[in-house]
Copies of this chain bind each other. A is one copy, B any other.
Amino acid sequence: MKIVIDGFGGDYSPDEIIKGAVLSIQKHKDLEIILTGDEKVLTDKFSELNLSMERIKLHNAPLVISNDETPTIAIKKEGTSLGEAFNILKQQDDVQALISCGSTGAILAGGFLKIGRIKGVSRPALAPFLPTRKGTNVLLIDCGANSECKPINLAHFAIMGSIYYKEINGVDSPRVGLLSNGVEEHKGSELTKETYKILKTLPINFIGNIEARDIVSGDVDVVVTDGFTGNIALKSIEGAVKLAMNEIKTAIKSSAVSMFGALFLKKAFKKVKSRMDYKKYGGSPFLGTKKLIIKSHGNSKRETICYAVDQAIECSKLGINSKFADAFANLDISGDL
């Protein structure tokens, strides 16, 4: 299996990207990696860090796309580490996935413009896993690829999310919920009300509207929403977890007794931190594009790169994309789209 990784995306590139690539190579015996970026810098880094380049090929791309650039313009520029990674993914049949920690906008633009959609998929979508109170995972789709959506887009997210959850978690009939501001069918925005009508007719286990407080309840497996709302939900959760952890730290530090007690809780706190750490959940796959694209968090370190590689390998082995293609080839959606 061959994967291309953007060597210059994210806060800790290229060092942590390189280290993550080497770790992945050690873990997976039949893996080959193409690393894009300034070849001289990368070569120097490998020897400076004293790392083996076994099964790692460099592809020269001296420029870097920043977060401030207009994604659709930036992705078309020649010689960028991300742009070249997309060119390789597009042109080389044996390269099966792309991983980048760079600008989300540029990654999405690359997916839309350079790779294209699976036939029948109206809009690809970002779909990360989150932890739940019951120890399971929940898939939130879309988390930011599509700010403005139509009901048909959300219906497609539901189908992709359901297939992806089933394949990755081995759950036969994942419970699909529609994110709204009330559980009743008549609650919500115009978008959710129209979407509700379509989801009822699809070959998925649709359990109706769910409220945002229940995203992480463990009572739903796939939460369907537009990219704007999904982004708000995801980042609200991220901010709230940080708030809760912060409050605990402050409360502990406020007395000697609690600081003493906290000494016995180090392991427990570490466990919580690890459970709540989005880095453990790998990247967000961009579901619905012809080839697999994984957006990893901007502050990914080597372990996160490894998780993203694992994720790419798993998706490839499970044949997620051909399962999407089959589902959409046979799809017949009616309703007000």
Contact = CB atoms under 8 A, between A and B. Distances in A.
Interface of A: 68, 131-133, 144, 147-148, 179, 181, 184, 188-190, 211-217, 227-229, 231-248, 251-252, 254-255, 257-258, 260-265, 267-269, 271-272, 275-276
Contacts of A213: 235-236, 238-239, 242
B148 A190 contact: yes
A184 B68 CA distance: 9
27 contacts: A132-B243, A133-B243, A147-B188, A181-B231, A212-B238, A213-B242, A229-B229, A237-B237, A237-B240, A237-B243, A238-B240, A240-B240, A240-B241, A244-B245, A244-B272, A247-B276, A248-B269, A251-B272, A252-B268, A254-B268, A257-B264, A257-B267, A260-B264, A261-B261, A261-B262, A261-B264, A261-B265
A217 B68 CA distance: 23
Given A148-B189, A260-B264, A261-B264, A179 B232 contact: yes
A181 B232 contact: yes
Given A212-B236, A251-B267, A260-B264, 4 more contacts: A68-B184, A188-B228, A213-B238, A261-B261
Contacts of A184: 68
A269 B243 contact: no
Greatest chain B CB density within 10 A among A252, A261, A262 is at A261
A233 B233 contact: yes
Nearest to A193: B147
Contacts of A243: 131-133, 216, 237, 241, 276
A326 to B, nearest CB: 32
A267 B262 CA distance: 12
A267 B271 contact: no
A100 to B, nearest CB: 18
A139 to B, nearest CB: 15
Contacts of A239: 212-217, 237
A251 B184 CA distance: 35
Q: Which 3 A-B pairs have the closest CB atoms?
A: A261-B264, A212-B235, A240-B240
Contacts of A248: 248, 268-269, 272
A178 B93 CA distance: 44
A260 B252 CA distance: 15
A147 B234 contact: no
A261 B68 CA distance: 47
Greatest chain B CB density within 10 A among A132, A233, A234, A240 is at A240
Contacts of A262: 261, 264-265
Greatest chain B CB density within 10 A among A181, A189, A217, A271 is at A181
A144 to B, nearest CB: 6
Given A228-B181, A268-B258, A212 B241 contact: no
A99 B68 CA distance: 47
A61 to B, nearest CB: 25
A123 to B, nearest CB: 15
Contacts of A190: 148
B271 A251 contact: yes
